[in-house]
Structure 1
Amino acid sequence: MARKKNPAAEPPEVNFSDDGEVRHLHLGTPWIQGSMRVDAPFDIELEYVQRMMAWLLFVEPASVAGRHAMQLGLGAGALTKFCHKKLRMRTTVVELHPQVLALCRGWFKLPPEDARLSVVLGDAAAEVRRPAWQGGIDALQVDLYDHEAAAPVLDDAGFYADCRALLTDEGCMTVNLFGRASSYARSVEKIAAAFGADALWAFKPTREGNTVVLAQRTPSAPKRTVLAARAEAIQARWGLPAAKWMRVFRPVAREPVSGLLGPPRGPGRVESPLP
């Protein structure tokens, strides 16, 4: 979570539900805010969250463990756990809501802090402006929604400019664009204003309507053969379905917005609401 648009509003209730072997995080509503397979707690269960790892396509696999990943919004901790446990990266997560952190530690297997894992309880909008982080983040993963999941809580050109300033020269930001009131085209315009249109890549939407956009600190244009080889290496090394990403992942500048949006989507967060 990030700062609420109505600061006076009470924070939502944080709870979870189990659906067979999968545990879901909720913020006071049936909408799923994150998921974990109970018998594989350090894998990434949801498709759009897997796609948030697409920055791996732009770095050498052997270099990953020496890099620094930051998540804005903890959710069910999937990205944080994967970066820390599977990729062995230095990992920092920023989360506004202490109850989300407590639930992740108690029910979603979030490891305790150590030399490589740091948890910052605070406002993501303020945290990204801290001088200590500037130019030091290799992978910035942004998934900031309130309990209503209507639109990204932070979605303006100034925020994305602050995000760009965090990144190393080879760094990438991945962001989940989703919601009843959100506009993919407007969000992409704001990201392009901060990063440049030639720095942006995007997936086609998932079945649930989550569209993951990637922005590079330094734009590059690797050949598809290079990306395909990297995807095969990612899949073999870490078990992410990266090979099939190549069918639905394109530079934004080369793909019409309508082609990335697909058919109109109904309301929701990820997955369908629980019965």
Structure 2
Amino acid sequence: MDVGRELPEVTLSELDGVRYLHLDSIWVQGAMRIAKPRVLELEYIQRMMAWMLWRPAAELAQGHAVQLGLGAAAITRFCHQVLRMRTTAVELNPAVIAACRMRFRLGDDDDRLTVRQQDAGEWVREPAHLQTVQVLNVDLYDHEAAAPVLDDEGFYAACRGVLAHGGLMTVNLFGRHASFAASAGRIAAAFGRDQVWSLRPTREGNTVVVAGRGVEVPGREELLARADNIEKRYGPLGLPARKWLRMVRPLPAPIDAA
């Protein structure tokens, strides 16, 4: 862990029944509807769950789900409390972990939940974690929400390394920011361009990229069936899976490609 790194302070705000987490700035780093803590409030967080489309219904909630960057613990709560998966969250800032425990309904560690205070780049490079993860959610932005903290090809290669065969990663990127194409290209270099897809940007400009390790893409009818199943089971909690299907695209080839 980089013990010399100065970590931002955590602040909270509330508006219209929603509690927000900030890191020493006005930018929202996470949110929870206080009366419905298991509902995924932010649109980009909902789209971070698009990995579910690539998972067969019988395996949807099986295996190990890992979140790099805790935010307001929305994905961690969902994987642990709703999907009931074995869930690990990796977060460098102890103040974020404390806020999630006290104000964002993140329970104590148990036999299915582990929260690690650790640098995410170190976690994905630990040999013990190789090919142990079925679902990896990466949301690592600085306190000003300007750029990913970890965004090099070596990091994404390590992310691929922790995925078991058929495993999936989702990454939050700013789709309308000049760095999106470069970040997506690094992901494609690590995973193979045929294993990378993106969703359309949200209104705020977040684009979710999905990457797989040896994932077989089902046909359209199977994808529709999976989307219907997801909406039937989890739609009220913020998972409009049929809408995701309309916005998923293969990653486009580089502009300078021959």
**Shorter-chain TM-score: which interval?**
over 0.9
Alignment CA distance shift 1:32-1:91 (3 Å): same
Structure 2 partner of 1:272: none
Structure 2 partner of 1:119: 115
The C-alpha deviation readout for 1:100-150, integer Å capped at 9, x for no partner, is: 000001100001110000011010001101112110100000000121211
Matches for 1:172-191 after TM superposition, within 5 Å? 172-178=168-174, 183-191=179-187
Normalising by structure 1, we get a TM-score of: 0.87
Structure 1 partner of 2:200: 204
Partner amino acid, structure 2, of 1:11:
L
- State yes or no: 1:139 paired with 2:139: no
Structure 2 partner of 1:227: 223
Structure 1 residue runs without a partner (length 5+): 258-275
- Which moves more between the two structures, 50-59 or 84-93? 50-59
**Equivalent residues of 1:151, 1:179 under 8 A apart:** no
Structure 1 partner of 2:38: 42
Alignment CA distance shift 1:182-1:33 (3 Å): farther
Q: 2:61 aligns with which of 50, 65, 69?
A: 65
Q: CA deviation at 1:219?
A: 3.9
Alignment CA distance shift 1:67-1:31 (3 Å): same
- State yes or no: 1:82 paired with 2:75: no
Alignment CA distance shift 1:256-1:228 (3 Å): farther
The C-alpha deviation readout for 1:25-71, integer Å capped at 9, x for no partner, is: 00011110000000111121111101111111111233233311000
Structure 2 partner of 1:106: 102
Work out the percentage of aligned pairs sharing the same amino acid: 56
**Equivalent residues of 1:152, 1:178 under 8 A apart:** no
How many pairs were matched up?
252
Q: 1:29 aligns with which of 10, 15, 25?
A: 25
SS of match in other structure, 2:135 = strand
Partner amino acid, structure 2, of 1:12:
P
Structure 2 residue runs without a partner (length 5+): none
Partner amino acid, structure 1, of 2:156:
Y
Partner amino acid, structure 2, of 1:99:
A
Alignment CA distance shift 1:145-1:218 (3 Å): same
CA–CA distance in structure 1, aligned partners of residues 60 and 19 of structure 2: 29
Structure 1 partner of 2:244: 245
**Equivalent residues of 2:176, 2:205 under 8 A apart:** no
**Equivalent residues of 2:166, 2:216 under 8 A apart:** no
- State yes or no: 1:192 paired with 2:191: no
CA–CA distance in structure 1, aligned partners of residues 104 and 91 of structure 2: 15
- Which moves more between the two structures, 179-188 or 78-87? 179-188
Q: CA deviation at 1:180?
A: 8.5
CA–CA distance in structure 2, aligned partners of residues 115 and 9 of structure 1: 31
Superposition CA RMSD, Å: 1.8
CA–CA distance in structure 1, aligned partners of residues 246 and 194 of structure 2: 20
CA–CA distance in structure 2, aligned partners of residues 256 and 222 of structure 1: 25
CA–CA distance in structure 2, aligned partners of residues 233 and 70 of structure 1: 23
Alignment CA distance shift 1:153-1:182 (3 Å): farther
